């Protein structure tokens, strides 16, 4: 049996997509992008009877990590973040004030393991492969199942859009390159982004106005 999305929750003030991804046999699971609403995420984990083996953020912006420390503490699972976003964690207080007007920010979550491109996260008898896709942030990642039947794109690629590149560490050229060279060559599969609805790689390759065929960035 393939890896399963046990639950998709829209959390926090910026409507981050948080996913519980698990192995139906072992019930081991990954919490991906715990952006806020830690209690709700904890209840979902318990409700599905999951054993969390990893808490992962696709990047270090506050809307993807605010509940990471709480889930890490409750489950005992390590928190994973790409090494390229370690410095971005320190932007947490300033970004919370900028976007939400919060002046008393919590400390950033403790990172147990720094991810690199090509790393593999074991989930029961299955695996999630790390694809480094800088552009939205220096350490943005996507996760793809070993069977290449599910792609979790974080804030790199959205349905008919792409992640913004005007925040600290953002790079528009790198973002376009990441999508064109790292994601589109994977072939077609469902894409579950960090915000908004699901899509497919074929749909975005053809129709995405920023990086699809016919866009000003398209190079064939």
Give me the count of residues in the chain: 220
Q: Which residues touch 3 (CB under 8 Å, ≥6 apart)?
A: 21, 22, 23, 123, 126, 128, 145, 147, 150
Q: What is the 3-state secondary structure (H, E, C) of the chain?
A: CCCEEEEEEEECCCCEEEEEEECCCCCEEEEECCCCCHHHHHHHHHHHCCEEEEEECCCCCHHHCCCHHHHHHHHCCCEEEEHHHCHHHHHHHHHHHHHHCCCCCCCCCCCCEEECCCCEEEECCEEEEEEECCCCCCCCEEEEECCCCCEEEECCEECCEECCCCCCCCCHHHHHHHHHHHHHHHCCCEEEECCCCCEEHHHHHHHCCCCCCCCCCCCC
Q: Which residues touch 43 (CB under 8 Å, ≥6 apart)?
A: none
Residue 186 tokens, joined: 């994977």
pLDDT tens-digit profile, the chain (220 residues) = 899 999 999 999 999 999 999 999 999 999 999 999 999 999 999 999 999 999 999 999 999 999 999 999 999 999 999 999 999 999 999 999 999 999 998 999 999 999 999 999 999 999 999 999 999 999 999 999 999 999 999 999 999 999 999 999 999 999 999 999 999 999 999 999 999 999 999 999 999 999 998 776 555 5
For residue 219, the model assigns a pLDDT of 57
Indicate the angle between helix axes 68-75 and 38-48, nearest 10 degrees: 40
Neighbours of 190 (CB within 10 A): 14
Full-model pTM: 0.96
What pairs with residue 114 in β-bridges?
Answer: 81
Residue 160 falls in which region: left (phi positive, over 0), alpha (psi -120 to 50) or beta: left
CATH 3.60.15.10 fits 4-207, yes or no: yes
Closest CA to 167 of 116, 110, 101, 98: 98
């Amino acid at each position: 049996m393939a890896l399963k999305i046990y639950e998709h929750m829209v959390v926090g003030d910026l409507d981050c997509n948080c996913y519980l991804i698990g192995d139906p046999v072992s019930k081991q699971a990954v919490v991906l992008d715990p952006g806020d609403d830690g209690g709700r995420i904890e209840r979902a984990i318990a409700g599905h009877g999951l054993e969390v083996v990893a808490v992962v953020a696709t990047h270090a912006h506050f809307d993807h990590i605010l509940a990471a420390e709480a889930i890490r503490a409750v489950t005992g699972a390590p928190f994973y973040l790409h090494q390229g976003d370690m410095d971005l964690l320190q932007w947490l207080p300033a970004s919370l004030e900028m976007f939400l007007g919060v002046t008393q920010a919590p400390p950033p979550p403790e990172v147990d393991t720094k991810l690199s491109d090509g790393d593999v996260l074991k989930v029961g008898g299955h695996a999630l492969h790390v694809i480094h896709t800088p552009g939205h942030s220096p350490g943005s990642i996507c996760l793809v199942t070993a069977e290449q039947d599910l792609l979790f794109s974080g804030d790199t690629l959205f349905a008919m859009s792409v992640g913004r590149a005007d925040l600290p560490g953002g790079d528009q050229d790198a973002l376009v390159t990441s999508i064109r060279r790292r994601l589109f060559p994977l072939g077609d599969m469902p894409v579950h982004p960090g915000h908004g609805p699901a899509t497919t790689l074929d749909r975005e390759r053809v129709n995405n106005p920023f990086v699809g065929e016919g866009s000003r960035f398209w190079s064939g």
